[in-house]
Structure 1
Amino acid sequence: MSSITKVALAGAKGNVGAPTLEQLLKAGFEVTVLTRPDSSSTFPSNVTVKPVDYDSVDSLTAALKGQDALVVTITHTALGKQHNLIEAASKAGVKRFLPSEFGSDSFNEKLIKLPGFKAKHEVHEALRKAARETGLTWTSIVNGPFLDWGVAVGFLINAKEKKVELPDGGNHQYSATTLETIAKAIIAVLQHPEETKNRPVYIQDVAISQKQLYDLVKKYAGADGWTENVSSIDAEIQKVLEEVKKDQPDIRVVAFGSLKPAIWGGVEYNSAFQKLDNELLGIKGLSPAELEAVVAKSVPK
């Protein structure tokens, strides 16, 4: 595959999108940002901005003409929009598609069966089909939960309110990665197109258990006054399966309930990745001191 120099980015203002845009520009790529027509977002002068209609394949195809790669970092609630993007990228002659993956191992056979991963699995199937029938190739980046963001906003541990969930006791290891490292991995994929072609790549900054992270967070949020909730992964899965039977299931229950086994379910869910592409992509990981520094910086003050 010839080198990738022109990259389109969808979702440039999101948690993953913002650091990705920064790293793309730093690495010298020609960047085009796709935005909605009513967007008021602003970007650096060396970024080309193209308003698009995400519901129109023709609009997306026109915007993607001449692009070598498309990186999608849209929110999980809009994952279905990627089907139009895949079709448009194929028609426009885009070489590489990086879907909005950036999470747990949704290629794991057990996770695929959980309702919260249905949308991602459908995107995987659409990409495989496009790869068979067109010149489009793909790479999914699997990185576990966002380490810094997860501490900062209370997704992994609610340091602000001093609440922590310990699924199955909190002893299972899981892979976690900072937003900056994810952005750097995206750059590395674009720089290694052949080695990363038509497959997921697995990265992590650290493998850690919920108890280990809890101990670190307590050092900077204070050790007293915590509420601990020891939960059951099997019970969470059952809750999800019961929720989807309802006429109007709560999407939050389904989504977060499916994430719990993905992150904290242990070996059978590949929560701590068994094989890594860190070396290929130049991801060094965090030393114990660096990990503590990330946590210290991320704990809400």
Structure 2
Amino acid sequence: MPANQFASYLGPKYKTQLGRTIAQALIEASFTVNIVSRASSTFATHAHPSAIFKCASYESTMSLEEALQDQDAIVEAFNPIAAAYQDNILRAAIRMGVKHIITPDFSSDTFNPQAHELRIFEPKLCSQTRLESLASQGKIYWTAIIVGPFYDWAISRGLFWVNNQDRKITLFGSGNQRISMSALSIVGRATVAVLQHPKDFVNRPAYFADYTISTNELIALWTLYENGSKLWDKDTDNGLKDRLSTPAYVLLGTFEEDSRYGADFGTKVEPGWEKPRHQLKQDLNKLLLD
């Protein structure tokens, strides 16, 4: 897709860092950007004066059609739970002639065979089946952008295994588990790359990561703090649904010892996207000093 075509960013709240990063990258790459949000959401229209802001109800195909008129591509950047509305979005997109849809991933590998065990992805996995069926009929094509956890965003909020307050590393299991991870900025760069060269990414997941590394490879830099908690079963027993906010999600979704959930996708990363290891040390040092 030429860089002067039209793309809609479809997300619940443009004010999130993910949304701002994607929209900013598209605008800087000369895309004409529509930012579509549900009427119940709030966003700052002054942030990107060149963007077009619209409201749409995900429950209404007609409302979505109005918002997606004359668009070439859709970038879905909402919570995986909102993928329950994917049928409406797809119907509206196809009726409006949208050619390409980037699915609501931008995180873990939902194409891993065990992804269904992480219930947060259930709506996304169901909607993906429908999307692939439509793609096989030539009605639309799709790309899923997989980037792993955002280490810079997570470290600054105390959510990752490197603690920027006391300069400690949390060791999960043996510490040999490798994970593929990225700085938040990669979502913008990857989205632009996919939309500018769509034929290279048609109907498949595309893996992007800045680094793939194990905890043990960083231990020499910081003090070690051991953590062996097993909380996933406890969460399930308690009927918990908000797994993104729990320690169990971090432990199993990101650091599971045998990479059961695809945390290590280093062998799948698009050529030329990973950075040299010495750059990671510089990046982490900067985060710890901020």
Give yes or no for the alignment of 1:251 onto 2:253.
no
The worse-fitting range, judged by mean Cα deviation, of 93-102 and 36-45 is 36-45
SS at match of 2:59: coil
The aligned counterpart of 1:93 is 97
Give yes or no for the alignment of 1:49 onto 2:53.
yes
> What are the Cα deviations for residues 34-79 of structure 1, in whole angstroms up to 9, with x where unaligned?
1333534123222111121222221111111111100011234534
Task: Kindly state the Cα deviation for residue 92 of structure 1 after the two structures are TM-superposed.
Answer: 1.7
The aligned counterpart of 1:203 is 208
1:111–1:291 distance in 2 versus 1, CA, 3 Å: same
The aligned counterpart of 1:166 is 171
SS at match of 2:171: strand
Using structure 1 for the length normalisation, give the TM-score. 0.82
Structure 2 letter corresponding to 1:53: S
Using structure 2 for the length normalisation, give the TM-score. 0.85
Task: Kindly state the Cα deviation for residue 161 of structure 1 after the two structures are TM-superposed.
Answer: 6.0
Matches within 5 A, 1:253-268: 257-258=248-249, 260-265=251-256, 266-268=258-260
Q: Distance in 2 between matches of 1:19 and 1:94?
A: 22
Structure 1 letter corresponding to 2:228: S
SS at match of 1:63: helix
The aligned counterpart of 1:10 is 10
SS at match of 1:299: helix
The aligned counterpart of 2:37 is 35
Task: Kindly state the Cα deviation for residue 81 of structure 1 after the two structures are TM-superposed.
Answer: 3.9
The aligned counterpart of 2:227 is 230
The aligned counterpart of 1:118 is 122
The worse-fitting range, judged by mean Cα deviation, of 185-194 and 289-298 is 289-298
The aligned counterpart of 2:67 is 63
Q: Distance in 1 between matches of 2:129 and 2:275?
A: 33
Q: Distance in 1 between matches of 2:247 and 2:122?
A: 13
The question of whether the paired residues in 2 share the 8 Å contact of 1:9 and 1:72 is answered with yes
1:189–1:8 distance in 2 versus 1, CA, 3 Å: same
Query: Unaligned stretches of 5+ in structure 1?
Result: none
1:98–1:215 distance in 2 versus 1, CA, 3 Å: farther
Identity %: 28
The question of whether the paired residues in 2 share the 8 Å contact of 1:152 and 1:300 is answered with no
The aligned counterpart of 1:104 is 108
> What are the Cα deviations for residues 189-231 of structure 1, in whole angstroms up to 9, with x where unaligned?
1112112111101111111113434554x3xxxx4xx7x2332
> What are the Cα deviations for residues 138-181 of structure 1, in whole angstroms up to 9, with x where unaligned?
10011111121121112213433666542213221110011112
Count of residues in correspondence between the two structures = 283
Task: Kindly state the Cα deviation for residue 263 of structure 1 after the two structures are TM-superposed.
Answer: 1.9
1:15–1:45 distance in 2 versus 1, CA, 3 Å: closer
Query: Unaligned stretches of 5+ in structure 2?
Result: none
The worse-fitting range, judged by mean Cα deviation, of 150-159 and 66-75 is 150-159
The aligned counterpart of 1:149 is 153
